[in-house]
Structure 1
C-alpha cells in the first residue's frame, strides 16, 4: 500500500468530515436497485461520488452514485448508493477504496448487499439470501502488493468473513417480519458477461449457491481493516442454463419488487448490530 494511496484515503476522509460526516458506526453498500434505502436516512447529507477526492464514479444503471450520511434505524450510517465493479475498468484497490474511507471515518461494521443469480436449485427469484461465506474466483485480490500493518495484517484470516452473530441477527429479524430468507455461499466472478451454463454448473459443483460480480473484494478489505460484516444477496434471476435468457432489466425489476421487504430487513438489522 503505497504513500499515494494512503494520502488519497486521508484526503477523502478529510473532505467528508468537512461535509459533516461525523463518526459513522455502520457502513452500507447498496447494490443494483437497492439504493433507495439510503433515501430514508434522516438528518442526511448526500455527496455525489464525483465530488469526493479520489473516488471512482459508478457507471451502472440502478446505481445512483452518491454517498449518504445520516441516521437510519437509530444508528449513524454511511451508505453507498451504488458500488464500483472490477468490470467497469477499475482496479480492485479502487473498487474497495470506499471501504478504506469508511474505516478511516470510524465505521466498525459493514452491511453489504448485492443482486445475484441463483445457482442453488431450491432458490427462487425474489429470495433474499444471508451470505454465510464466499468464493473468490475473480482472479484478483485487493491486498496484493506491499502491506501497511497499520491498515491490517499481511495475512488476513477469512475463516469468518461474514460475522456469525450478524447472520443470526439477520435471520431473527427476517423471522420476526415474516420475510423468507435463504442462506448460502456467494461466488464472485468478474463479469460483465453473465456466466455460461457450463460455468454455472462449475459454480454449483464448487459449492456456490449464488453468483455475482461484486462484494468479494469489498469484504476482503473490510476484514483486513477489522470490520465485522453482514451480507445479504437479492436473488434476481435463475443463473444461466436455468432460465432461457438473462438481462439487467430483470435484475432491476426483481430488486424493485422486493425492495420493501429488503428495506425492512436491513433497517432493523442495523438497529441490532
Structure 2
C-alpha cells in the first residue's frame, strides 16, 4: 500500500477510508474537528499529558487502516485526541512517529499528516530529538527550525516523488516559507517573555539524514560545512507533506547530544582519547528528552492555547 507505484485514485481511497474510520471514533466530541496536529518526537510523548484528561480519546495505529506500527522505543504508536489549554483548543497528538529507516516508504510515514489534513487540522507542530552540529549548541537546548536541508530528497528520495496528489497541493511546491514566521515568533515570545523559560532556545537549520546510524565524525563535519545546525532522522518529510496540504508548520528540535566532529586519534598517537568519548546513543537521546520535556510541554501548551 502507498508506495510510489500506487495509482493516485487508489491512494486517495486509502486516505479517505482512514479518515472515515477516525471520524467515526471522534464524532460527537469536541475533537471532531481538531485544529492542531502535534507530532511527538523521541521521548516527547508526554506532550499528550497536557490534554484535558476528561476529553481524551485514544486510537492505536493498528486500528486505523493505512497506518503503520511504530517500532522505535519512545514511540508508543497511537493518536491521542483531546482539548488543550484554558481555551480548550481541539488537538490530535501523534504519540510515536514513523521513520523511513524502519523500512517504510515516505508515503507511509507521512500518511497520518494527510489524514489529519482531511480531519480539518490547519496547524502542525512537529517535535524531534536531534544531534547538535553547530558547535555553539549543547545537549538540553532547544532549536526552533527556521529551515531544513533534505539530504535524501536532493538524491531523489523525496516524499512528493511520484504522481502528484492534486487534491492536496501543487506539483512544484515552494519551501522557502516552510516554517511559519508568526508561529516561530509566538513560540519564542511565549517561552521567554511570558513563561520565563531559562533553557536556551536557538534558531537554526535542521539537516535530515535517513538513519538509522548516528553520523560519523566526517559526516558531522560535512553537515556543519553544508549549513546544518542540528541533524535528525525525521521531521522533514512530514513538514513537506504538511505544506503540500496547505498547513502551517512550527517545528522544534530538542538537542540531545553534541555531534562528534573531531577527527579520530592517529594510529601512532600516544595516550589518545577514547573513540567512544561523546558517542551518541538512543538511551542518551531519551534521557535528555526526559529532562527537558517539562519545558517543552509547558511552552507548547501555552502556544496551542493561543491558536
TM-score past 0.5 threshold: yes
Which position in structure 2 is the counterpart of 1:256? 290
Name 2:47's counterpart in structure 1: 37
If you compute each CA radius of gyration, which structure gives the higher value, 1 or 2?
2
1:164 to 172, 181, 188: 181
* CA-to-aligned-CA distance 1:123-159 (integer Å, 9 cap, x gap): 1100011110110012411111111322111111101
Contact persistence 2:129–2:289 (CA under 8 A): yes
Structure 1: how far apart are the matches of 2:260 and 2:99?
21
Q: Trace 1:5-154 onto structure 2 (pairs within 5 A).
A: 5-20=11-26, 21-42=31-52, 43-73=55-85, 74-138=88-152, 139=155, 140-154=157-171
Q: Return 57-66 or 171-180, whichever deviates more.
A: 171-180
SS of 2:185's equivalent in the other structure is helix
Q: Distance in 2 between matches of 1:232 and 1:260?
A: 14
Q: Using the alignment, how far apart are the partners of 2:211 and 2:51 within structure 1?
A: 31
Task: Give the match's secondary structure for 1:185.
Answer: strand
SS in structure 2 of the partner of residue 258 of structure 1? helix
Query: Offset of 1:40 from its aligned partner?
Result: 2.7
Determine if contact 1:185/1:208 at 8 Å carries over to the other structure: yes
C-alpha distance after superposition, 1:105-131 (max 9, x if no partner)? 000000000000000111110001111
Secondary structure at 1:122's aligned position in 2? coil
RMSD in angstroms over aligned alpha carbons? 1.1
Query: Secondary structure in 2 aligned to 1:55?
Result: coil
Q: Superposed, which structure 2 residues align to 1:196-207 within 5 Å?
A: 196-207=216-227
Match of 2:257 in 1: 237
CA contact (8 A) 1:162 1:228 kept: yes
Unaligned runs of 5+ in 2: 1-6, 263-276
Q: Secondary structure at the match of 2:179?
A: coil
Contact 1:31 1:113 in 2 (8 A): yes
TM-score (norm 2): 0.87
Tell me the secondary structure at the aligned position of residue 15 of structure 1: helix
Look up the SS of the partner of 1:230 in the other structure.
Answer: strand
Check the 8 A contact 1:194/1:240 in 2, yes or no.
Answer: no
In structure 1, how many angstroms separate the alpha carbons of the residues matched to 2:91 and 2:61? 16
Shift in Å, 1:244 = 2.6
Per the TM alignment, residue 241 of structure 1 is displaced from its structure 2 partner at its CA by: 3.0
The aligned counterpart of 1:224 is: 244
Q: Could you give the per-residue CA deviations for residues 211-266 of structure 1, whole angstroms, max 9, x where no partner exists?
A: 00000000000011000000010000011336531110000000000111110011
2:8 counterpart of 1:2: yes
Deviations 1:2-37 (A, max 9, x none): 222111100110001110151100001001000011
Q: Is the 8 A contact 2:37 2:92 kept in 1?
A: yes
Aligned to 2:265: none
Query: Partners in 2 of 1:240 and 1:107 — Cα distance?
Result: 39
Rounded Cα–Cα distance in structure 1 between residues aligned with 2:293 and 2:67: 27
Where in structure 1 are there 5+ consecutive unaligned residues? Answer: none
SS in 2 for 1:83: coil
